[in-house]
């Protein structure tokens, strides 16, 4: 079953960084996107997610609203943000709020189970800015799990982590994949990506 | 002193002052949390100068009630400055600086070339520093302030979770389907409204104290967004109340007294933060 | 008979003395307030004349006067300056009796607030005023 497909996709902001991409990702695949800096990895991911409109061609994600999770790169503003871990994880449910102002009890329980899945349940009351890099990534993955459990997009999830934490992170993502989640990950680390990925897409000039 | 206070409190204009002052302090502190976290602390100053310019223009044009005109101009400028979300912080601070200083210059020029009152310096002084403007509100002013404050607080509570989500991570929110652009426009409109109202309390030059200090104080000590928001509101209301009461009893200008109270509170929270070992 | 007459005289005299000593209390006393509040108080009165029509108002400030060539009259006012010395507000007063103070003197005036027409325009003033 196809999860994501593109037809002749050209992606970029004003000029195309990627042209004529025909991609097809099956459910349960673990796709790793690699390439040098500036080759358009993040741009491609944002186009697949619908954050940037494609310059030409099309993208189709065969999934509903509550099926897609996204772990973006951490930004500077967040490093000092006063938010508790549970507040960050709960925000994964924002797409389901509709006209409701507050999250439901069911959503709160789902957030709890996502945190337990990522082994951060005991950190739920801690402040996000006091966590280590590896812990923060787990929080963001929990948040993505709340947003959707079928497909997960990860943009450089091990950036800034030491090698031990990075190994642990890859293991966790691999586990999610074995449970049936389609994983699309951007990574600089070709060695580790080859270890777990079922498919690799390399971007850049030929 | 209690006797003196009860003498003052018997006057309706003093009661109005306290009610409106507390409501404005509440709204500006809620907004302040969002603005500070998005690195838009200077917006308060910039927009208040735009409002000053709009006020001068309204006087020249000859509007009898200048509030709708000032609100309209300030809202438009706020939307232009804030609508691109995070990107604005990089491109926008120069735009804010230019808009801010131009409005101030043009406003003052208009007031001098087309004088519509006999005491230009007095009007300028009151508008910029808020010495007595909160004590001389008309019935219309009071009604407008109460309604706008109530609307602001209700909207903030209703959209609280979305405001948090977009402020924390705009990219993720957009990926979830939240209309982050709309959220930003909405924040800009509310900011403009609160700034225009706050000018009556603290004056255009001191608005930033009202908007920024309570949020910064709360962030020194509290660690979750909910705790920061609530404590920012409590700090702001207490400082405004204390500032207004001191000002009424001692005869000091209202705006500066409230700003001073906010600064003292920040110092207290800064020390508390250090003692509690917060980063 | 003599005793009853003496009692009556004493009671009448007591009433006379008490009413002579009884001070009229002002409805709005701005004279005890600090600069910012007195200024704001008078500002609010002058912005909302119907609400204060007929009320006894006491004000402390300095005396100012102008001469109107059209009417040939002298007008006297008590003027207040606000705390930051940037704004002034004043109200006319007309004394019940006695001499008017010099321009620049610090005075305390108490009188009945009223609106009156002079030609086509409506003005405000403290009438039946006394210097305290």
Percent of chain A with pLDDT over 70: 99
- A-to-B residue pairs, Cβ atoms closer than 8 angstroms: 89
**Residue of chain B whose Cα is closest to the Cα of A127:** B223
Give the closest residue to B223 by CA, choosing from A94, A128, C83. A128
Q: What is the pLDDT of residues B151-161, one digit of tens each?
A: 999 999 999 99
What is the model's pLDDT at position B237? 95
Average pLDDT of every residue of chain C: 84
Q: All domains of chain B, ordered by start, with CATH? A: 2-275 (1.10.3470.10)
Report how many domains make up chain C: 1
What is the model's pLDDT at position C22? 55
Spatial separation of the C-alpha atoms in residues A82 and B227, rounded to whole Å = 9
Which positions in chain A touch B276 (Cβ < 8 Å)?
Answer: none
What is the model's pLDDT at position B165? 92
Which positions in chain C touch B136 (Cβ < 8 Å)?
Answer: 40, 43-44, 47
What is the model's pLDDT at position C17? 62
Give me the residues paired with residue A23 across strands. A6
- Is the pLDDT at A40 greater than 90, yes or no? no
> Quick check: B250 and C35 CB within 8 A?
no
What is the model's pLDDT at position C84? 66
- Is the pLDDT at A183 greater than 90, yes or no? yes
Average pLDDT of every residue of chain A: 88
> Quick check: A91 and B168 CB within 8 A?
yes
* Confidence band, pLDDT 50/70/90 cuts, at residue A168: confident
Parallel, antiparallel or unpaired: strands A199-202 and A30-34: parallel
Does residue C93 lie within any of the structural domains? Answer: yes
For chain B, where are the alpha helices, taking DSSP H only? Answer: 2-9, 12-37, 43-61, 67-82, 86-113, 120-129, 139-158, 160-168, 170-175, 180-202, 207-221, 225-250, 254-275
- Is the pLDDT at B16 greater than 60, yes or no? yes
Identity of the highest mean pLDDT range in B5-9, B28-32, B206-210: B28-32
Q: What is the pLDDT of residues A123-149, one digit of tens each?
A: 989 999 889 888 999 999 999 999 988
* Confidence band, pLDDT 50/70/90 cuts, at residue A205: low
- Looking up residue C77, the CATH number of its domain turns out to be 2.40.50
**Average pLDDT for C50-71:** 89
Q: Which of A63, A82, A111, A140 to mutate to test the interface with B (most CBs of B within 10 A)?
A: A82
> Which of these ranges, A3-12, A15-24, A134-143, B124-133, has the smallest mean pLDDT?
B124-133
Does residue C12 lie within any of the structural domains? Answer: no
Q: List chains touching C (3+ CB pairs under 8 A).
A: B
Handedness of CA C48, C53, C56, C59 (dihedral sign): positive
- Is the pLDDT at B90 greater than 80, yes or no? no
Residues 230-249, chain B, touching A (beta carbon < 8 A): none
What is the model's pLDDT at position B84? 54
What is the model's pLDDT at position B200? 72
Q: What is the pLDDT of residues B227-277, one digit of tens each?
A: 999 999 999 999 999 999 998 888 888 888 999 999 999 999 999 999 988
What is the model's pLDDT at position B38? 84
Does residue C115 lie within any of the structural domains? Answer: yes
Does residue C3 lie within any of the structural domains? Answer: no
Give the closest residue to A149 by CA, choosing from A203, A79, A96. A96
ipTM: 0.89
What is the model's pLDDT at position B3? 82
Does residue C8 lie within any of the structural domains? Answer: no
Which positions in chain B touch C60 (Cβ < 8 Å)?
Answer: none
What is the model's pLDDT at position C119? 78
- Is the pLDDT at B87 greater than 70, yes or no? no
Residue C33 lies in domain: 25-131
Phi, psi dihedrals of residue A189, rounded to the nearest 5°: -85, 90
Q: What is the pLDDT of residues C67-105, one digit of tens each?
A: 888 888 888 999 998 766 677 888 999 998 888 888 888
Locate tokens 């690699």: which residue?
Answer: A34
Q: List chains touching B (3+ CB pairs under 8 A).
A: A, C
* Confidence band, pLDDT 50/70/90 cuts, at residue B118: low
> Quick check: B11 and C43 CB within 8 A?
no
Q: What is the pLDDT of residues B144-199, one digit of tens each?
A: 889 999 999 999 999 999 999 999 998 899 888 888 888 888 888 888 988 888 88
Q: All domains of chain A, ordered by start, with CATH? A: 1-63+150-206 (3.40.50.300), 82-149 (no CATH)
Identity of the highest mean pLDDT range in A91-95, A157-161, B200-204, C20-24: A91-95
**Residue of chain B whose Cα is closest to the Cα of C44:** B136
Contacts 24+ apart (CB under 8 A), B5-14: B5/B245, B5/B248, B5/B249, B7/C29, B7/C32, B8/B248, B8/B249, B8/C33, B8/C37, B11/C28, B11/C41, B11/C44, B12/C44, B13/B135, B13/B136, B13/B137, B13/C40, B13/C41, B13/C44, B14/B135, B14/B248, B14/C37
């Amino acid at each position: 079953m196809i999860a994501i497909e593109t037809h002749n996709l050209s992606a970029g902001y004003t000029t195309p960084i990627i042209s004529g991409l025909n991609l097809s990702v099956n459910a349960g695949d673990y796709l790793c996107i690699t390439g040098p800096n500036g080759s358009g990895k993040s741009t491609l991911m944002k186009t697949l997610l619908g954050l940037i409109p494609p310059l030409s061609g099309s993208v189709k994600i065969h999934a509903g609203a509550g099926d897609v999770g996204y772990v973006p790169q951490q930004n500077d503003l967040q490093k000092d943000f006063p938010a508790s871990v549970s507040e960050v994880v709960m925000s994964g449910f924002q797409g389901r709020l509709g006209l409701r102002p507050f999250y439901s009890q069911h959503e709160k329980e789902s957030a709890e189970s996502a945190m337990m899945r990522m082994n951060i349940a005991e950190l739920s009351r801690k402040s996000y800015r006091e966590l280590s890099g590896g812990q923060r990534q787990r929080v963001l993955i929990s948040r993505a799990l709340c947003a959707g459990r079928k497909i997960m997009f990860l943009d450089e999830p091990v950036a800034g982590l030491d090698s031990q934490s990075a190994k642990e992170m890859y293991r966790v993502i691999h586990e999610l994949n074995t449970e049936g989640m389609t994983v699309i990950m951007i990574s600089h680390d070709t060695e580790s990506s080859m270890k777990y990925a079922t498919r690799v897409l390399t971007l850049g000039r030929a | 002193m209690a006797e003196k206070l009860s003498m003052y409190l018997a006057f309706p204009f003093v009661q109005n002052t306290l009610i409106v002052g507390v409501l404005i302090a509440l709204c500006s502190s809620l907004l302040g949390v969002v603005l500070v976290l998005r690195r838009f602390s200077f917006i308060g100053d910039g927009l208040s100068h735009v409002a000053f310019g709009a006020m001068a223009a309204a006087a020249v044009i000859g509007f009898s009630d200048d509030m709708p005109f000032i609100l309209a101009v300030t809202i438009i400028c706020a939307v232009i400055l804030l609508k691109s979300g995070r990107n604005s912080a990089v491109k926008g601070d120069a735009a804010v600086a230019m808009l801010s200083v131009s409005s101030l210059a043009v406003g003052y020029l208009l007031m001098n070339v087309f004088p519509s009152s006999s005491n230009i310096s007095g009007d300028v002084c009151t508008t910029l520093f808020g010495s007595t403007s909160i004590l001389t509100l008309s019935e219309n002013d009071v009604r407008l302030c109460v309604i706008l404050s109530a609307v602001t607080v209700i909207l903030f509570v209703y959209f609280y979770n979305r405001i948090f989500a977009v402020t924390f991570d705009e990219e993720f929110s957009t990926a979830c389907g939240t209309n982050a652009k709309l959220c930003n426009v909405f924040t800009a409109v509310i900011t403009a409204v609160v700034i225009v109202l706050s000018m009556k309390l603290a004056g255009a030059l001191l608005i930033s104290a009202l908007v920024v200090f309570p949020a910064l104080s709360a962030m020194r000590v509290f660690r979750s967004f909910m705790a920061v928001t609530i404590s920012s509101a409590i700090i702001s209301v207490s400082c405004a109340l204390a500032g207004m009461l001191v000002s009424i009893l001692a005869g000091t200008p209202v705006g500066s007294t409230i700003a001073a109270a906010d600064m003292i509170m920040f110092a207290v929270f800064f020390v508390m933060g250090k003692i509690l070992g917060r980063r | 008979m003599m005793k009853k007459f003496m009692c009556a005289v004493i009671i009448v005299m007591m009433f006379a003395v008490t009413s002579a000593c009884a001070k009229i209390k002002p409805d709005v006393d701005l004279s005890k307030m600090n600069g910012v509040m007195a200024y704001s108080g008078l500002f609010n009165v002058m912005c909302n004349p119907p609400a204060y029509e007929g009320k006894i108002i006491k004000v402390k400030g300095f005396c100012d006067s102008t001469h109107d060539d059209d009417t040939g009259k002298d007008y006297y006012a008590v003027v207040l300056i606000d705390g930051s010395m940037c704004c002034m507000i004043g109200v006319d007063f007309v004394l019940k009796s006695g001499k008017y103070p010099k321009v620049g003197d610090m005075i305390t005036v108490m009188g009945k607030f009223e609106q009156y027409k002079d030609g086509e325009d409506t003005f405000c003033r403290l009438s039946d005023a006394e210097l305290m």
